[in-house]
Amino acid sequence: MKKVRIALAGFGTVGTGLAKIIRENEEWIKKRTGAVLIIEKVLVRDISKPRPFVPHPTTTFTTNPAELLEGNPDILVELIGGTSLAYELIKKALEKGISVVTANKALLATRGKELLSLAEEKGVGLYFEASVGGGIPIVETLKESLAGNRITSITGILNGTANYILTQMSQKEWDFSTALAEAQKRGYAEADPTLDIEGIDAAHKLAILIFLAHGVVYPFEKLRVEGITDLSLKDISFAQELGYVFKLIAQVKEKSGYLQAGVFPALLPKNHILAKVDGPYNAILLNGNAVGPIMLYGQGAGDLPTGSAVLADIISLVKNNKQVNNTGFIESPFEPAKILEPLSVVSEHYFRFSVLDKPGVLAALAGVLGEYNISIAQAIQKASPSERAVPVVFLTHRARLKDVKKAIKEIDKFDFIVNPTVHYPILP
């Protein structure tokens, strides 16, 4: 039987997950491919670290990146993360005509254009199903299944760690750091978890989805990116009282050829289709001009779900290695996206003002909002005998983000404002 020789860079959460599936599903993989997959060499940082198992009796471990490609493997699987060594390894493999499978969204979002061009030039595969949505087959869906559609919007929960944290905070009232520590323990978080909680990881994934859905490059630094680090239990609790849940949303909308894109925490009505996506689960809600709405849902992080996506790419390369399909386009379309100013986005909003409880406060708040065309839909004021500041919460009708920001700037100058005003958009 044909042997496919794999060089594996990284044997952490995803690397071990992949190796476990290859071992457990060996017979099944043979049926699918007519081949046996052998992880020949594994690159790690710390050779003395105890490993749960050895992928294959012939596998050797190394800490020397130069050794990884020495035996000219059939496929390089890059699962170390980061944008330095991972970049060097992938580039070297592609230059040698070796196909690559990676889960590295940070690298693809920032240097994908260069690496995909190189793969195209060399006629080899650079596959990245696991880079977005963990186990959810969204990359293949955009490349193949929805290829005939113009995608008008994508709204996703794309970070398992952030979603796990928000779920634990709202359902179990865990504090932020306890929830983050547990997400790290479970293998959901990035090596640097600020990428997860600051929205950067979700933005990396959004940049990849934009490329696959629209065939244009949205410069990463131009994306609006807001994370969940400032979100408090207080706001989560007010949202619940008002019938909403908080989610970290990644969204791109197409309007007459222009794209409006960003990552931000938002309130979703409890009956929203994305509101029930909890824990490490991700979901991607797409609208195609022919197919209409479609939602993909599944585990967005973790060893086996992510390993499943990596293995799908390996199988795809083994079966179709003469006809690779890296981007879903005949030639990778690398034109820059036409961008709609992110602050022009219009939505309903949640405001929490932290104010001194004295006459005229509500009128002053409403007055400034009115000046900026922001109309109040609901209001709550909670008196607290023990605290100097009282929270005042407003839900508004649809308003432009730019106007919201300007109004807050003005409101926060009032002497009755005790803490800076908190504001989040509400998704319909």
Q: Which residue ranges make up the site for ligand NAP (CB under 6 A)? A: 10-15, 43-46, 49, 79-81, 85, 103-105, 130, 134, 187-188, 190-191, 301-302, 306
Q: Which stretch binds ligand HSE (CB under 6 A): 46-54, 183-191, 259-267, 419-427?
A: 183-191
Shortest distance, position 263 Cβ to ligand HSE, whole Å? 12
Q: Does 116 bind ligand HSE (CB under 6 A)?
A: no
79 binds, among ligand NAP, ligand HSE, none (CB under 5 to 8 A by kind): ligand NAP
Cβ closest to ligand NAP, residue 10 vs residue 156: 10
Question: Does the footprint of ligand HSE cover residue 298 (CB under 6 A)?
Answer: no
Q: How far is the CB of 310 from ligand NAP (least distance, A)?
A: 8
Q: Which amino acid is at 79?
A: L
Residue 425, binding choice from ligand NAP, ligand HSE, none, Cβ under 5 to 8 Å by partner class: none
How many whole angstroms separate alpha carbon 75 and alpha carbon 320?
13
Which residue in 41, 143, 205, 247 is the catalytic one?
A: 205
Alpha helices in 354-400 (DSSP H): 361-371
Q: Which of 262, 300, 307, 425 binds ligand HSE (CB under 6 A)?
A: 300
SS3 category, 8: strand
The secondary structure of the chain in percent helix, strand, coil, rounded to multiples of 5, reads 35, 30, 35
Q: Give one DSSP letter per residue of 94-116, joined into a string.
A: HHTT-EEEE--HHHHHHHHHHHH
Q: What are phi and psi of 296, to 5 degrees?
A: -110, 135
Q: Which stretch binds ligand HSE (CB under 6 A): 66-74, 112-120, 189-197, 353-361?
A: 189-197
Q: Choosing among ligand NAP, ligand HSE, none, which partner's interface includes residue 12 (Cβ < 5 to 8 Å by kind)?
A: ligand NAP
Q: How many CA atoms lie within 13 A of 382 on its CB side?
A: 14
Q: Which is nearer to ligand NAP, 191 or 346 (CB)?
A: 191
Tokens of 361: 């406060």
Which does residue 159 touch among ligand HSE, ligand NAP, none (CB within 5 to 8 A, set by kind)?
A: ligand HSE
Q: Which is nearer to ligand NAP, 162 or 374 (CB)?
A: 162
Query: Under the criterion CB under 6 A, does residue 108 sit at the interface with ligand HSE?
Result: no
Q: How far apart are CA 44 and CA 65, in angstroms?
A: 9
Pick the binder of ligand HSE from 159, 168, 299, 308 (CB under 6 A).
159
Nearer to ligand NAP, 136 or 411 (CB): 136
Q: Which single residue brings its beta carbon nearest to ligand NAP?
A: 12
* Residue 282 contacts residue 160 (beta carbons within 8 Å): yes
Active site residue 270: no
Query: CA torsion sign, 11 to 15 to 20 to 22?
Result: negative
196 interface partner picked from ligand HSE, ligand NAP, none, CB below 5 to 8 A per type: ligand HSE
Min dist CB 41 to ligand NAP, Å, is 12
Q: What is the CA radius of gyration of the chain?
A: 24
CA 122/CA 264 separation, integer angstroms: 38
Closest to ligand NAP by CB, 20 vs 398, is 20
**Residues 220, 281, 166, 426, CA torsion sign:** positive
Residue 85: CB minimum distance to ligand HSE, A: 19
201 contacts ligand HSE (rule: CB under 6 A): yes
**Cα 144 from Cα 167, distance rounded (Å):** 33
Residue 132's contacts (CB-CB under 8 Å, 6 or more residues apart) are 105, 138, 139, 158, 205, 208, 209
Nearer to ligand NAP, 33 or 306 (CB): 306
User: What three-state secondary structure class fits 325?
Assistant: coil
Place of tokens 């260069």: 114
Three-state SS at 359: coil
Residue 160 as a binder of ligand HSE (CB under 6 A): the answer is yes
| 134 contacts ligand HSE (rule: CB under 6 A) | yes
Q: Based on the number of CB atoms within 10 Å of its own CB, is 408 exposed (0-12), middle (13-18) or buried (19 or more)?
A: buried
CB of 247 to ligand NAP, least distance (A): 19
Of residues 282 and 421, the one with the C-beta less far from ligand NAP: 282
DSSP 23-50: HHTHHHHHHHHSEEEEEEEEE-S-TTS-
What residues act catalytically?
A: 205
**Residues of the shown chain interacting with ligand HSE in the complex, contacts defined by CB under 6 A:** 134, 159-161, 188-190, 196, 201, 300-301
